[in-house]
Amino acid sequence: MTEKPTYEELEKRIQKLEQTESNRKQIEEALRQSEEYLSITLNSIGDAVIATDVEGNVVQLNPVAEKLTGWKFSEAKGRSVIEVFNILSEKTRKRVESPIEQVMRKGVIAGLSNHTILISKEDVERPIEDNCAPIRNDQGEIMGVVLVFRDVTEKRRVKKELKESEENLRSIFENMKDVYYKLDANGKILMASPSGVALYNYDSLDEIIGKQANDFVYDIEDNEKFIKELQKKGYLKNYIIKHKCKNGKPIFVEPNTTLI
């Protein structure tokens, strides 16, 4: 016949159960806080973030990713990431392999090729750049994938405008009648306009670029006065100075000069 536990034994059991329950609640609270912190962090990231499970189904989607894909997290959760992250080649208009597929297959960090566009749920097209990495557990096993991507529409626009601006400046520079040249702090010619070739009777720009400005000066003493005046004011114009051509012929020039 089993003996009934004493009052003291029952009290100890109750205390042990209370401690166990308290520990469980503490663990649950710590997990809740951890999940809340991770959620806040994910939602604060400026780039779009999608996380998947090992099957490639969406388990996380931050607000930026919602905006770019057109999918709400509540709609995307559990769906195949290929459906949510719909990408095509901008050139061929054909589907390209998702970096998520590459990561799952090879277990390494992967990224998109150039000229990849994301097609949102509303059929809005955006050029994107991304990075994709595996999520591993303590044993090194792949538990899922995290994809970080961004809209590069503005970046492309700025790059295009910069290229057009450079082309316009190059056209002006190459067709200007006045001679332009840029020197470093030691007087070495770093850049020169093609008009300088004809003015100084050289055969090509290659002969001019890399030379010292003093190589064009007819009178060194006169040039020293010019430099002192320039250093004093920082800018000179309406100043006539005597230069020489490649064949030694003297010419008079009026340089408009600014210190950088």
Q: Give the residue, 23 or 196, on which the prediction is more confident.
A: 196
- Work out the pLDDT band at 143, boundaries 50, 70, 90: confident
Q: What is the mean pLDDT of residues 37-62?
A: 79
- The residue type found at 222 is D
Please tell me which residue, 160 or 15, carries the higher pLDDT value. 160
pLDDT of residue 122: 92
47 within 8 A of 129, measured Cβ to Cβ: no
Q: How confident is the model at residue 94 (pLDDT cuts 50, 70, 90)?
A: confident
- The predicted pLDDT at position 126 comes to 92
**How would residue 131 be classed by pLDDT, with cut points 50, 70 and 90?**
confident
Cα separation, 170 vs 179, in Å, equals 14
pLDDT, tens digit, 9 for 90 and up, residues 198-221 = 888 898 989 889 988 888 888 888
* Side-chain-side CA neighbours of residue 42 (13 Å): 20
Q: What are phi and psi of 178, to 5 degrees?
A: -70, 155
What's residue 84's pLDDT?
A: 93
Question: What integer pLDDT is reported at residue 28 of this predicted model?
Answer: 54
Predicted local confidence at residue 4, as pLDDT:
60
Q: Quote the percentage of the chain above a pLDDT of 70.
A: 82
Q: Where is pLDDT greater, at 236 or 203?
A: 203
pLDDT band at 6 (very low <50, low <70, confident <90, very high): low
Choose between 90 and 46: higher pLDDT: 90
Q: Please state, rounded to an integer, the average pLDDT across all residues of the chain.
A: 82
Q: Would you state the pLDDT for residue 40?
A: 61
Summarised one tens digit per residue, pLDDT across range 18-42 is 666 556 565 555 555 545 555 665 6
Q: Do the beta carbons of residue 227 and residue 185 sit within 8 Å? A: no
Helix, strand, coil % (nearest 5) of the chain?
40, 25, 30
Q: Which of 143, 125, 126, 145 is nearest to 134 (CA)?
A: 145
Answer with the residue of higher pLDDT: 187 or 26: 187
pLDDT at residue 120, as a whole number: 93
